Amino acid sequence: PYDVLVVGGGPAGASAAIYAARKGIRTGMVSERIGGQVMDTSAIENFISVKETEGPKLGASLEAHVNEYNVDVMNLQRAKNIERKDDYVELELENGAVLKSKTAILSTGARWRNIGVPGEEEFKNKGVAYCPHCDAPLFEGKHVAVIGGGNSGIEAAIDLAGVVKHVTVLEFAPELKADSILQERLNSLSNTTVITSAQTTEIIGDDTVKGINYKDRETDEMKHIELQGVFVQIGLVPNTEWLGNNIEQTKTGEIIVDKKGATNVPGIYAAGDCTDSAYKQIIISMGSGATAALGAFDYLIRQAPA
C-alpha cells in the first residue's frame, strides 16, 4: 500500500506529490491528465517569480518536477470511488484496479461551466475567457462582455471595469442575482452597462472575438454588440461527482477542508480547485497541495506503528 495516494495531477496534485515524496514516504499519483486546467491556458502572468509563461510549458515543468522524485505516477487513469476501509483508504479506478493507501489527497480540480453557444469553443483564449484575475490585463482599453449576473459575474465586471474601456453584463434572467452591495458598486461605475433578459446566442469573430449576438427575451429581438472580449461567468464546477456522498461537500460540490486540508474522513485530505477554498488560482492550489501533504504526513506519524 501507499502512504500517500494523490488523486489528480494539476498544480495541487503535483505539489502534494512532491511534498509527500520529499518526506521519504511511499507516494502515488493517479491522474487523468497531468497539468490539469493549466494545459488549457495560454499566457500565465501571475505565477509569482515567473514573469510570463504558457500553460503547456508550466504543465510540462510540473510533470518534470514530479518525475524528479520517487512518485509512482499513474497517468491517464480516472478514479471512480474512494472509501475508508479499516486501516486503509481504497481508491477504485475506472479500469477496475483498486489501490490501497494509508492516506489520500483529493485534487481533482474544477471546470468552468460553458454557455455552449457557437463561437465559444472556437474563440477560447482568442477573446473568450473565464478568469478575470488571470486575463483582465489582456483586454486593457477594450470593450468586453461578462456573461452571468450572479456574484462571480458582477465581481468580474467590477474588476474588469478598472482595467478595460467598457464592460457590458449580459444576464439571462429579468434581474441580476448578485448581492445588492455588488450591484450598487457596479452601478456607481461609469464604464459599465447591464442588460437583463439577454440570451447570448453566438460569439463572432475572425482571428479573435469581434462581437456578440443575443436575443432580448422580452421582445424576441436579435441584437448585436461589437466588442473584443467575452468573460463567461456562469459557474465553476468542482470535479467531485465521482465521490458520491462519501466525503463532506458544500451544496455546490466543493470538498470541505480544514486548515490542514483534512476532510471529514480520517486520512483523506483535499487540495486545490475541488475544495471550498475562497479563490481558485495556480499559486493557491499549489499552496493547498503542500498543506494537504504536510497534513497527511502529520496524520501518518500519529498512527500506531504497524
Q: Which stretch binds ligand FAD (CB under 6 A): 163-171, 254-262, 274-282, 298-306?
A: 274-282
Query: Which three cell numbers mark 118?
Result: 457557437
Q: Please report, in angstroms and rounded to a whole number, the separation of the first and last CA atoms in the chain.
A: 13
> Residues 105, 271: contact at Cβ < 8 Å?
yes
Residue window 124-163: x/- pattern of binding to ligand FAD, with contact defined by CB under 6 A: ------xx--x-----------------------------
Q: Find all residues with CB under 8 Å of 89, minimum gap 6, and list them.
A: 5, 82, 83, 100, 101, 102, 103, 104, 265, 267, 268
For residue 184, the minimal CB distance to ligand FAD (Å) is 29
Residue window 7-46: x/- pattern of binding to ligand FAD, with contact defined by CB under 6 A: xxxxxxx----------------xxxxx-xxx-xx--x-x
Give the whole-angstrom CA distance, residue 218 versus residue 198. 9
For residue 93, the minimal CB distance to ligand FAD (Å) is 8
Which residue type is seen at 10? G
Nearer to ligand FAD, 128 or 176 (CB): 128
For residue 177, the minimal CB distance to ligand FAD (Å) is 23
Binding of ligand FAD by 90 (CB under 6 A): no
Strand partners, 54: 43
Count of H-run helices and E-run strands, the chain:
6, 19
Query: Which three cell numbers mark 211?
Result: 462581437
Binding site for ligand FAD (CB under 6 A): 7-13, 30-34, 36-38, 40-41, 44, 46, 78-79, 107-110, 112, 130-131, 134, 239, 242, 272-273, 280-283, 285
